[in-house]
Copies of this chain bind each other. A is one copy, B any other.
Amino acid sequence: MAAPAVVRTDRVRTDRETIARSDDHRALRIWLRLLTCTQMIERVVRSRLRERFSTTLPRFDLMAQLERHPEGLKMNELSRLLMVTGGNVTTIVDQLEKEGLVERLDEPADRRAFRIHLTRTGERTFADMAREHEEWVVGLLSGLSRREQDELLRLLAKAKEHAVEVAP
């Protein structure tokens, strides 16, 4: 990979340490950009979930997990999937149960545990939210071509796999 002629003047000023430093900073720049992208999307999604459905992102995420697991999920499974501690899951499930969107069913095999399900109402409500939510996200990410989106998805998956080993 020869450097283009136009940057040759720069290379004179680019000693080994500078190269090493800029190499180190690459990870930092990725992290900062990752944070910015996430925050931008998150802010849009949070505010629209509030305006349109009077709900929050953690509540939406919890319902999304339940929708993906029709057999139901235990509290500690939700805790792990949502990456939050148990007390917070209790709070959110309490709210959603009060509104009739989810229900705690007894787990026959373990009398300490529950299986959390979407109710029929919860399924319908979530379907409405998910449809709009997806439109917002498609709009926000439509700056990338399909191929670029696939590549981004692959790179994020790989980054995630490694990070989860470093910080389990």
Which residues between 31 and 58 of chain A lie within 8 Å of chain B, taking CB atoms? 31, 33-45
- Report copies per complex: 2
B-chain residues with CB within 8 Å of residue A109 when the two chains form the complex = none
Are B162 and A144 in contact, CB atoms less than 8 angstroms apart? Answer: yes
If A27-B137, A34-B34, A146-B26 touch, whether A155 touches B158 (CB-CB below 8 Å) is no
Does residue A148 face the partner (Cβ distance < 8 Å to B)? yes
- CA separation between A41 and B31, bound complex, in Å? 8
Binding site for B on A (CB under 8 A): 23-31, 33-45, 83, 133-134, 137-144, 146, 148-153, 155-164, 166-167
Closest 7 CB pairs of A and B: A143-B162, A38-B38, A27-B138, A33-B156, A27-B141, A44-B167, A152-B155
Least CB distance from A27 to B in Å reads 4
- CA separation between A44 and B133, bound complex, in Å? 28
- CA separation between A122 and B51, bound complex, in Å? 40
Are B140 and A37 in contact, CB atoms less than 8 angstroms apart? Answer: no
- CA separation between A151 and B152, bound complex, in Å? 8
- CA separation between A144 and B160, bound complex, in Å? 10
Are A37 and B156 in contact, CB atoms less than 8 angstroms apart? Answer: yes
Are B143 and A163 in contact, CB atoms less than 8 angstroms apart? Answer: yes
Are A134 and B24 in contact, CB atoms less than 8 angstroms apart? Answer: yes
Least CB distance from A29 to B in Å reads 6
Closest B residue by C-beta to A131: B24
Are B33 and A157 in contact, CB atoms less than 8 angstroms apart? Answer: yes
B-chain residues with CB within 8 Å of residue A158 when the two chains form the complex = 143-144, 148
Are B30 and A153 in contact, CB atoms less than 8 angstroms apart? Answer: yes
Closest B residue by C-beta to A40: B163
